[in-house]
Structure 1
Amino acid sequence: MLILSRKIGETIHVGDNVTIVINRISGNRVTVGIEAPNQVRILRGEVLDPEEAQEAEEPGCLSTHKMLSETLPISAVAR
């Protein structure tokens, strides 16, 4: 797992067409904005059902929503 430190306003790029922006940090909560094409499904980790979670963890599959939910308490996800 890649772990990055970011400050407010800094970005993380995933692949060629997904950008994650750190919008706000308040205590132990981080608000992020996610820019991605409409066909990219973005879910918070806690709303992913067990069957989908298994599919997302297959080799070669980048599970961004899972990694974010495990490393950052996310209070809001914007698209």
Structure 2
Amino acid sequence: MLVLTRRANESIVIGDDITVTILAVTPGGVRIGIDAPRDTRIHRAEIVVAVSDANQAAVESSADDSAERALLGALGRVRQTP
């Protein structure tokens, strides 16, 4: 990991087309601006983790539902889905 010190209104250039600028530094956090091509996805890490966790929970729920359907089908009682 590269660690740099920057002050307000100073920037970091990543590759040829991404610029990260420190806009403000306050006791509550750092405000940054990112200039990047529109097709570059930029997400906060906690959002990526939350979406990944939700997707995993949905997959597990779907797998549990499939197992339940198979069991009910084997018993001759297929559950109706809404």
Short-chain TM bin: 0.5 to 0.7
Match of 1:48 in 2: 48
SS at match of 2:46: helix
- TM-score normalised by length of structure 2: 0.58
CA RMSD of aligned residues (A): 1.4
Percent pairwise identity: 37
Q: Look at both structures and tell me which one has the larger radius of gyration over its CA atoms.
A: 2
Q: How do 1:54-65 residues align onto structure 2 when only pairs under 5 Å count?
A: none
Gaps of 5+ in 1: 52-79
- TM-score normalised by length of structure 1: 0.60
Match of 2:30 in 1: 30
Deviations along 1:23-65, one digit per CA (max 9) or x if unpaired, are 00001400000000000000001011348xxxxxxxxxxxxxx
* Deviation of the 1:13 alpha carbon: 0.5
Say which structure, 1 or 2, has more relative contact order (CA 8 Å, 6+ apart): 1
Structure number with higher helix proportion: 2
Aligned length: 51
Structure number with higher strand proportion: 1
